[in-house]
Amino acid sequence: MNSRFAYRRKNWLYIPLIMAAVFYLIPLYLMLATGFKGFEEINLRTMWALPHGLHLDNFIEAYTVLSPYLLNSLNMVFPAAIISSVLGSINGYLLSKWKFKGADTIFLLILFGMFIPYQSILIPLVEFMTRIGLYGSLPGLVLTHVVYGLPITTLTFRNYYSGISNELLEAAKVDGAGMLRIYWSILLPISIPSFVVVLIWQFTQAWNDFLFAVVLTSSRSWPITVALNNMAGSQIIAWNVQMAGSLITALPTLIVYIFLGRYFLRGMMAGALKE
C-alpha cells in the first residue's frame, strides 16, 4: 500500500481517539486530583482544578477508615482465587482429555453456573451458610467465591487443554504414565500462563464483588467494596475522602491490570465463551 499517503490521511483519526481517551480518564482524573488535594483546598467550586502539591491527608483519612476492610479483602481473595483455579485446572484436564460418559453434558451444566443471576440463589445461600455456621464470616465468602468461580476456571482450562495434541499424551501413556502422572509432569508445567489468566480473573472478580459480600458478611468481616459503599452513603465522610477511598479500593486490581493486562484480556474473552 502507498503507506505514507495513507498515514497522513489517517492523522485526523486521533481526534476521536483522544476524545474517547478523555472520556475514560475523567473519573480517574477526578479521583487523583481530589485525592491529592489538601483539606484546605477542598471546595466543590474547584472540584476540577489540579491540586496545589501532593497532599496525602485524604488518603490517610480514607485508609484509617478502610484499612480493616482492606485486610478482610486481602484475606479473602487469595484463597478464593487459588482454590478455584486449582480445581478448575483439574476439571479442565479431565473434562477435555479423560472424558467419562456424559462429561460434555456435565461441562455445559457447570458452564451455565457462570451466567445465573445470583438473586436466584441468594436465599438458599444464606440459609445454607447459616446452617453450616459460616454465615457472616470470611470463610463463608471464600467458599462462595470458590464455587461460583468454578465454571469460568473450568472453562478456561478446558479450552487450553483441548488445544494440546493427544499424541503428546499418547506418547506419555506408551511410556507408562497414568492419568495423574501426565497431568503432574506434562500438563501442569505448561499451564502457567493459563494459571495467570485464571488467578487474575478470580482475584479481580472476588475483589470487586459487592452482592455476595453485602449479603453474607457482617460488619466485622466486610470486604472493602461494602465498606466503601457505606462510606459513600454516609453524611459524615467528605467527598474528597470518598474519592481517595475509591482509589484505594481500585488500586490492587488496577495494578494487576497495568502489569498483567494481557492475561486479564484473555480471561475476559473466555467469559464471552470465545477464545
Partner 1 sequence: MRSKKEAWLSFLLVLPTILAIGIFVYGFILWTMRVSISQWTGLLPDYTFVGFENYIYLFSTARFQIDITNTLIFTAVFMTGAIGLGFFLAVLLDQGLKGEAFFRSLFLFPMAISYIVTGVVWRWLMNPAQGDRISGFNLLFHNLGLDFLINRWHTTPGWGIAFIAIPAIWQLSGYTMALYLAGLRAIPDQLREAARVDGATEWQIMRYVILPLLKPVTLSAVIIIGHMSLKVFDLIVAVAGKQLALDVPAINMWQTTFDGYYFGVGAAIGVLLLLSVALLIIPYIIYTQKGEANQ
Closest to partner 1 by CB, 38 or 147: 147
Torsion of CA 160, 162, 164, 168, to 10 degrees: 140
Q: How far is the CB of 150 from partner 1 (least distance, A)?
A: 5
> Of the two residues 123 and 190, which places its CB atom closer to partner 1 in the complex?
123
Instruction: Name the residue nearer to partner 1 (CB basis): 16 or 176.
Output: 16
Q: How far is the CB of 214 from partner 1 (least distance, A)?
A: 8
**Do 78 and 206 contact (CB within 8 A), yes or no?**
no
Q: How far apart are CA 208 and CA 223, in angstroms?
A: 9
CB of 17 to partner 1, least distance (A): 6
Which ranges of the chain would DSSP assign to H, the alpha helix?
3-9, 14-35, 57-97, 103-112, 122-131, 138-162, 166-174, 179-182, 192-208, 211-216, 224-233, 239-271
Nearest distance from C-beta of residue 13 to partner 1, angstroms: 6
Q: Is 80 or 256 the residue whose CB approaches partner 1 more closely? A: 256
DSSP 36-78: TS-GGG--GGGTTSPPSS---HHHHHHHHHHHHHHHHHHHHHH
Closer CB to partner 1, residue 191 or residue 246? 246
Residue 122, C-beta contacts closer than 8 angstroms, at least 6 positions apart: 211, 215
Closest distance between partner 1 and the C-beta of residue 203, in Å? 10
Strand partners, 217: 136
